[in-house]
Structure 1
Amino acid sequence: MAGMDITPPQIVLGTMDFGTRVEADRAFEILDAFVGGGGVWLDTANCYSFWADPSGVGGASERVIGAWLRARPGVRETVRIATKVRHNPLVAHSWPESAEGLSARAVRAGVEESLERLGVDHVDLLWAHAEDREVPLTETVGAFGELVARGVALRVGAANHATWRVERARELARQQEVEPWTALQLRHSLLQPRPFTPLAEAGHRLLTADDLDLARSEGLAVWSYTSLLWGSYERTDKPLPSTYDHPGTRQVLTVLDDVAGDLSATRNQVVLAWLMRQGIAPIVGASGVEQIEQALAARCVRLDDEHLARFAEAR
């Protein structure tokens, strides 16, 4: 089974806005700073970011990464690339009606287009971006396993999938004797929304205790997105959504400020350090070099057991 090179957990650079909200020149600066600071993993998707692109389809983020790779000979040897298939509109400005699914044909086509945009012959990790319950799970599992067998993807994983679907998919992979999903990507952060309240962000699925149990029992890698809640821990112009307005949030923020003061760290750095102490690799987006430099500095923040206990009690 292919190695993940993400133990202990590392900070992952999220590139969703590259080529749309973050222009290519600035994206190059961020990528250079990330790699220069010892960062390894880039996370993108074939659909990024169709909602912000005048074309109405995705691919901008992958094209920027591909251009950066061409402009930096040899850098491909030092970075790992993760991309996703599932959500890219097949008809411009028509989503979710024309969103690609997870049929074998759609998975193969999506990956081939991603490889062309990235200018590479393989990706290090391929995610199923979301569930597709209109396609038999056995077909999807077989398609992902085929890509690993061909060397097009070195590892495969599931993003925004229910725990039971991942477990079932892994069993189907064993039956088919193909590479199983060995990584999970879900939304997670120190602050949690009010229990049983639907998220406003369509398609987001929160990390659960069951996901962590599965990951720890079977050795799966876990990545978290929306790790810093759109900058809301530190930016007054980015208020938390109303679903985070509950007593637990206020309690956790009080502890967060105390711990950050103790460690001479920022709120964001403590949150990232807390995630990594859970064995979770946080995905961090950035619109400027200073943001990614601050995030990478979280690797030097050391939370002890007492800090973890204080957060657990507050949550």
Structure 2
Amino acid sequence: MTDSRGGADLMASPTATAAPVAWRSLGPSPIRVFPLALSGTTFGWTADESTTTAILDRFIELGGSFIDTADSYAGGRSEIMIGNWMRRRGLRDRLTIATKIGKSPDNPGLSARAVEAAVTASLDRLGVTMIDVLYLHIDDDAVPLEETLAAVDELIRDGRVRAFGGSHHTPDRLLEARIAAGQLSVAPMIALQNHYNLIQRTEYESGLARVAAQLDLGVMPRFALEGGFLTGKYRSRADLERHGRGLEAAKHLTRRGIRILHALDRVAADLDATVATVSLAWLLSRPRVVAPVVSVSEAHQLDEVMAAPSLALGRHHLTELDRASAQR
């Protein structure tokens, strides 16, 4: 595997016959990653140590390089499990590690004190000296943006953080942050995490997309498979009961939701792919998207996920998916 920090352009794809996958740059930064990020949201919560290890091992085996977690995931246990795994495997230099701060009950908010304490704790749990990408997990309007930006910039200057981005920020706040960074002569955000997929298009496309382009932000869509709905396994009330995800997926069993699944079915059949792979390939076709963030509960689920960057959707496929998912 090639070092993601060194700007590698290609990585072997999940299958031997597929074309090599081009790595993508994270905004204007020199950071380059395989175009799918593995979420650590289940680690230490629904995934125990052995399951987490199997998932991480398979992710690396299939060419992955970008791991995304947060100090609030499983009360910090997600970071600990990722850190323990990296140490056992000796893989730190081959990975891009992202974490988020602001929601942990131990260091809530984005005051200078909270930012410093949260990052120090995350570094300790991960067992690393630098976080590659630090996300502000919330927009803390109780703290002046200037205070937060100055605190993060100090961490970057100290070499404890490489780059940072926002999450759950409105277009106006992203613009305010860029203006403030310029006035203070501190590091600007280079990345954005947001809720974006075939089901959830409006929030991003109605305002965030324009600002992301204007500010040259790399976009990492969260909930890329919408809690499993965009894998195609929830098509009836019986499916919801069988998989125990009624409350989360029931709201998508609408005329529009079923229409999207039917379009995904047709494209998947045409390309001999799975619904999950097509869903992620659609996201990867969108402007500025670098790496959708995907959570899995079992290692074998990564086979479909990691096939997405190798799947080429034709213009007619994209048009069909766009029409089916139009908000109406």
TM-score higher than 0.5 here?
yes
Matches within 5 A, 1:1-315: 2-6=29-33, 10-49=35-74, 58-73=75-90, 75-90=91-106, 100-192=108-200, 206-233=203-230, 234-235=232-233, 236=239, 237=243, 238=245, 241-278=249-286, 279-280=288-289, 281-314=291-324, 315=326
Cα deviation code 1:24-80 (max 9, x no counterpart)? 11111111111111101000000102xxxxxxxx1100000110011012x111111
Answer whether contact 1:84 1:127 (CA < 8 A) is retained: yes
Answer whether contact 1:145 1:173 (CA < 8 A) is retained: no
SS of residue in 2 equivalent to 1:181: coil
Letter in 2 for 1:16: T
Shift of 1:207: 2.5
Answer whether contact 2:83 2:126 (CA < 8 A) is retained: yes
Distance 1:27 1:243, change over 3 A: same
Equivalent-residue separation in structure 1 for 2:259 and 2:100 (angstroms): 36
SS of residue in 1 equivalent to 2:193: strand
Equivalent-residue separation in structure 1 for 2:157 and 2:205 (angstroms): 31
Equivalent-residue separation in structure 1 for 2:262 and 2:58 (angstroms): 32
Letter in 1 for 2:279: V
Where does the alignment leave 5 or more consecutive residues of structure 1 unmatched? 50-57, 91-98, 196-205
- Greater helix content: 2
Q: TM-score, normalised by structure 1?
A: 0.86
Letter in 2 for 1:303: L
Answer whether contact 1:18 1:64 (CA < 8 A) is retained: yes
Shift of 1:218: 2.5
Shift of 1:182: 1.1
Report the more deviating stretch, 275-284 or 81-90. Answer: 275-284
Answer whether contact 2:174 2:211 (CA < 8 A) is retained: no
The percent identity for this pair of structures is 35
Where does the alignment leave 5 or more consecutive residues of structure 2 unmatched? 1-27, 234-238
Answer whether contact 1:189 1:228 (CA < 8 A) is retained: yes
Q: Over aligned residue pairs, what C-alpha RMSD do you find?
A: 1.7
SS of residue in 1 equivalent to 2:292: strand
Q: TM-score, normalised by structure 2?
A: 0.83
